[in-house]
């Protein structure tokens, strides 16, 4: 596997209450790997609403302020729903390293979403490492990824609005 990790790169990370404890472990691991970590929150296990944390992270990635980011919630689903509403964001829920690697290789996933209630700390670190170090293959996958983004004129031409 080609190492595409970029120590010094700023990576925002965010979670709701269900992902807080794992977020803290991954935040420290990212810092130990040499990344500049931006902790968007939450900052405790007190009940919170996942969109409050997914929106700011996804906006940063969408606007190019960060190349990629990490989100965590209980299942990963809520965070992924929010993040994938932003242009240019490809948030992938990954529950093992193989899924994380394929999300990078084939889909150029720029937001990793972890289901904190369903992965161990050890597995989460392995998933994060696979996602950080796997490059996008491009080639035949480039055109497929390009089809994810649609502007209004494309939507009008197809007869669909979404």
pLDDT at position 155, please? Answer: 47
pLDDT at position 3, please? Answer: 43
| Cβ 135 vs Cβ 108: under 8 Å | no
Return the higher-pLDDT residue of 139 and 91.
Answer: 91
Nearest-angstrom CA–CA distance, 142 and 50: 31
**Model confidence at 153: pLDDT above 90:** no
107 is in an annotated binding site: yes
Nearest-angstrom CA–CA distance, 151 and 30: 35
Q: Would residue 17 count as lying in a domain?
A: yes
| Cβ 94 vs Cβ 127: under 8 Å | yes
Sign of CA dihedral 38, 18, 95, 142: negative
Q: Judge residue 100's burial from the number of C-beta atoms within 10 Å of its C-beta, 0-12 exposed, 13-18 middle, 19 or more buried.
A: buried
CATH of the domain at 99: 3.40.1400.10
pLDDT at position 151, please? Answer: 60
> Can you give the residue range of the structural domain that contains 15?
10-143
78 is in an annotated binding site: yes
pLDDT tens digit sequence for 53-101 = 999 999 999 999 999 999 999 999 999 999 999 999 999 999 999 999 9
Res. 43 pLDDT band, cuts 50 70 90 = very high
Positions annotated as catalytic residues are 73, 106
pLDDT at position 144, please? Answer: 85
| Cβ 6 vs Cβ 33: under 8 Å | no
pLDDT at position 5, please? Answer: 61
64 is in an annotated binding site: no
Provide the angle, in degrees to the nearest 10, between the axes of the packed helices 97-107 and 121-133. Answer: 20
Nearest-angstrom CA–CA distance, 15 and 23: 6
pLDDT at position 142, please? Answer: 86
150 is in an annotated binding site: no
pLDDT tens digit sequence for 6-21 = 768 999 999 999 999 9
Q: Would residue 136 count as lying in a domain?
A: yes
Q: Would residue 138 count as lying in a domain?
A: yes
Q: Would residue 131 count as lying in a domain?
A: yes
pLDDT tens digit sequence for 112-124 = 999 999 999 999 9
Q: Would residue 162 count as lying in a domain?
A: no
112 is in an annotated binding site: no
Q: Would residue 157 count as lying in a domain?
A: no
Q: What is the overall mean pLDDT for the chain?
A: 91
DSSP track, 17-40: GGGHHHHHHHHHHHHHTT-EEEEE
Look at the chain and report how many structural domains it folds into.
1
10 - beta bridge partners?
A: 36
């Amino acid at each position: 596997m080609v190492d595409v990790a970029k120590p010094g790169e700023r990576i925002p990370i965010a979670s709701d209450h269900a992902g807080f404890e794992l977020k803290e472990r991954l935040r420290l691991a990212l810092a130990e790997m040499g990344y500049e970590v931006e902790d968007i929150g939450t900052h405790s296990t007190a009940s919170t609403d996942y969109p409050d944390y997914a929106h700011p992270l996804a906006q940063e990635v969408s606007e190019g302020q960060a190349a990629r980011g990490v989100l965590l919630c209980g299942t990963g689903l809520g965070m992924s729903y929010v993040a994938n509403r932003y242009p240019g964001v490809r948030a992938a829920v990954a529950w093992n390293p193989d899924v994380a690697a394929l999300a990078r290789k084939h889909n150029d996933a720029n937001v990793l979403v972890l289901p904190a209630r369903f992965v161990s700390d050890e597995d989460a670190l392995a998933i994060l490492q696979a996602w950080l170090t796997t490059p996008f293959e491009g080639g035949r996958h480039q055109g497929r990824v390009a089809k994810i983004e649609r502007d209004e004129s494309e939507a009008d031409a197809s007869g669909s609005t979404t």
